[in-house]
Amino acid sequence: MDVYSAQITNLVEQLSHLPGIGAKSAQRLAFHILNMSEEQVAGLSGAMMAAKKNVRYCKECCTYTDGEICPICANPKRNHKVIMVVENTRDLAAYEKTGKYDGVYHVLHGAISPMAGVGPNDIRLSELMVRLQQDVEEVIVATNKNLEGDTTATYISKLVKPLGIKVSRIASGVPAGGDLEYIDEVTLYRALEGRRDM
């Protein structure tokens, strides 16, 4: 027999499917939600539904956005000849926070990982190759500094170099295995400035 009523048990179970949320956290969140006003709960669930329904991939860089094209790709002041390749939209946000990068991005939504069965066709690489048919001067590979990120960087380099486009990799200022989103802005900026040709 469950300790909680069926509806609470269901809420706890749904919450426990979220990443980083264990059984105890799920219970804590469930009771927090029960203590919220109906208006607040409607706001939370409404935001989740609206984001799920309306957010899509940018047609240019594949980041998550509300419209056809994200604000960065739509900005004529950005340098569209320099493309920084990142693993996900959170990494893009981390570089944007430095306020020092004026190029555009390409979001892969993952990294090549033979161990996890993720191959080149499972990430947004073909979309990148299509973009490279335009006038592009440099591709900065800013995938994470771990096995998957390095494998992806090498793979991209092999694809891009024959096109006569410069390929660089962010410097070792980023700790090995570190998620870009947890690194401070100064370190990220230094890693970007210290990038090396591949």
Min dist CB 59 to Zn ion, Å, is: 7
Min dist CB 156 to Zn ion, Å, is: 18
Question: Is 61 a binder of Zn ion (CB under 5 A)?
Answer: yes
Question: Is 70 a binder of Zn ion (CB under 5 A)?
Answer: yes
Report residue 129 CA to chain centroid gap.
19
Among residues 60, 87, 91, 127, which is the contact residue for Zn ion, using CB under 5 A?
60
- Which pair of structure tokens corresponds to residue 149? 């990120």
Q: What are phi and psi of 87, to 5 degrees?
A: -80, -35
Q: What are phi and psi of 37, to 5 degrees?
A: -70, 160
- Length of the chain counted residue by residue: 198
Q: How many residues bind Zn ion (CB under 5 A)?
A: 5
Min dist CB 85 to Zn ion, Å, is: 13
Among residues 11, 12, 58, 92, which is the contact residue for Zn ion, using CB under 5 A?
58
Min dist CB 60 to Zn ion, Å, is: 4
What distance in Å separates the CA atoms of residue 32 and residue 45, rounded to the nearest whole number?
14
- Which pair of structure tokens corresponds to residue 110? 């993952």
Min dist CB 104 to Zn ion, Å, is: 7
CB-based burial label for 118 (10 Å; 0-12, 13-18, 19+): middle
Q: Is the Cβ of residue 57 or residue 189 nearer to Zn ion in the bound state?
A: 57
Site mask for Zn ion (CB under 5 A), range 92-131, x = bound: ----------------------------------------
**Which of the stretches 19-27, 72-80, 113-121, 125-133 binds Zn ion when contact is defined by CB under 5 A?**
72-80
**Which of the stretches 69-77, 81-89, 131-139, 141-149 binds Zn ion when contact is defined by CB under 5 A?**
69-77
CB-based burial label for 40 (10 Å; 0-12, 13-18, 19+): exposed
- Which pair of structure tokens corresponds to residue 143? 């995938």
Q: Answer for the pair 44, 32: CB distance below 8 angstroms, yes or no.
A: no
Q: Site residues (CB under 5 A) for Zn ion?
A: 58, 60-61, 70, 73
